[in-house]
């Protein structure tokens, strides 16, 4: 009934509500009401819908059904763009004279939790464009370059063979820009259920942007997804990732997951010199102090730490969750991640990182 009313209720929230009901008196209506409201409602605009559903289910009160207006204009524009770009598979930017906005702009501003299956397929091309903007670093090795200042002796000797040993043409080398390592950790717990699929779709595009990208998922445990996200087919990659992750839409143990990452992959120097991207809402079920301790370990090794929170884009959002408050002192840039426009801002931040811990 809550899902029909429009609330985002996943297995993780259901588990929380059942755990809460075990600790209250079920004969008391107020105890049941506040326990379910605390565990199943995350947005202020859903309170009225929850109250209507509670009265209808528990009190058998007659209530009018919730009428949700379909976004006809948005669906029509998206369908028109899809029909006009069958060859490329990407939405075109032809503007509609009535709305003044293109279908692509509508998709960029639409929340990931409201996307349909067809719209998920349409944003795959946009995801690839966004993920192509990677942080850069100067390579340690010298590469041939026409503006270099150091002589390329090997090329100089090789070219002089054609002129009898005379160095008729000078060759130079210089350090060039190469992509920096990126390590991404995505929260797939129940509280992130509405955004996990879209963020993993972005990670798939990020892994496909070139070498030096590692992807992980965490809920109650840490799971490496780099091999599962390799490939051109996003749907197949997401299906493989969902089979690999055993705690999908479950609980949240950010501190324990970060500890597992630091203990195993931090010792392998995976985060040394890398930009670490963490996508999570910051809800921690256990000790928030462990989150702070492990984030400090992570920040000492990483080149920069960027935290992506889908809730941050809301104008009334405040980082009050214990895990989020514990992690913020060690985060270089705190960004929203609820739609494509937010991911575009993330790409601009990543491509602009030039100094250590200066995101």
For residue 77, pLDDT beyond 80: no
For residue 259, pLDDT beyond 60: yes
> Confidence class of residue 113 from pLDDT cuts 50, 70 and 90?
confident
> Confidence class of residue 146 from pLDDT cuts 50, 70 and 90?
low
For residue 63, pLDDT beyond 70: no
Share of the chain above pLDDT 90, in %: 39
Is the four-CA dihedral 249, 250, 254, 257 of positive or negative sign?
negative
Closest C-alpha among 305, 294, 302 to residue 334: 305
Please state, in angstroms and as integers, the Cα–Cα distance from residue 84 to each residue in 87, 95, 97, 99, 243, following that order: 8, 13, 16, 18, 35
pLDDT mean over 172-199: 87
Q: What is the pLDDT of residue 225?
A: 95
Closest C-alpha among 191, 181, 189 to residue 256: 189
For residue 142, pLDDT beyond 50: yes
pLDDT mean over 117-122: 86
Q: What is the pLDDT of residue 72?
A: 37
Model confidence pTM above 0.85: no
CB count within 10 Å of CB 325 equals 16
For residue 74, pLDDT beyond 80: no
> Confidence class of residue 79 from pLDDT cuts 50, 70 and 90?
very low
């Amino acid at each position: 009934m809550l899902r029909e009313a429009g609330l985002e209720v996943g297995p993780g929230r259901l588990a929380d509500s059942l755990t809460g009901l075990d600790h209250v008196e079920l004969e008391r209506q107020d105890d049941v009401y506040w326990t379910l409201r605390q565990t199943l409602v995350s947005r202020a605009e859903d309170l009225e819908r929850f109250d209507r559903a509670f009265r209808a289910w528990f009190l058998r009160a007659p209530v009018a059904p919730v009428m949700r207006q379909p976004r006809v204009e948005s669906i029509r524009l998206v369908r028109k763009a899809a029909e006009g770009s069958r060859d490329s598979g990407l939405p075109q930017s032809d503007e509609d004279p009535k709305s003044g906005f293109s279908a692509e702009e509508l998709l960029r501003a639409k929340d990931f939790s409201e996307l349909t299956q067809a719209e998920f397929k349409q944003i795959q091309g946009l995801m690839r464009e966004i993920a192509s903007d990677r942080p850069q670093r100067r390579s340690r090795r010298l590469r041939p370059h026409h503006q270099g200042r150091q002589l390329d002796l090997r090329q100089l000797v090789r070219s002089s063979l054609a002129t009898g040993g005379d160095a008729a043409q000078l060759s130079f080398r210089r350090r060039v820009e190469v992509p920096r390592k990126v390590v991404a950790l995505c929260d797939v717990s129940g509280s992130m259920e509405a955004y996990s699929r879209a963020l993993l779709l972005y990670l798939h595009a990020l892994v496909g942007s070139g070498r030096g990208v590692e992807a992980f998922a965490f809920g109650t445990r840490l799971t490496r997804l780099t091999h599962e996200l390799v490939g051109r087919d996003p749907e197949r990659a997401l299906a493989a990732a969902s089979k690999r992750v055993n705690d999908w839409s479950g609980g949240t143990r950010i501190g324990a997951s970060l500890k597992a990452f630091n203990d195993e992959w931090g010792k392998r120097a995976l985060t040394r010199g890398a930009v670490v991207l963490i996508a999570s809402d910051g809800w921690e079920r256990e000790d928030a102090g462990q989150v702070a301790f492990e984030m400090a370990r992570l920040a000492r090794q990483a080149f920069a730490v960027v935290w992506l929170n889908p809730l941050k884009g809301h104008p009334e959002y405040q980082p009050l969750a214990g895990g989020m408050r514990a992690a913020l002192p060690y985060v270089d840039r705190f960004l929203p991640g609820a739609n494509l426009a937010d991911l575009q801002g993330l790409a601009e931040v990543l491509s602009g990182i030039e100094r250590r811990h200066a995101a």
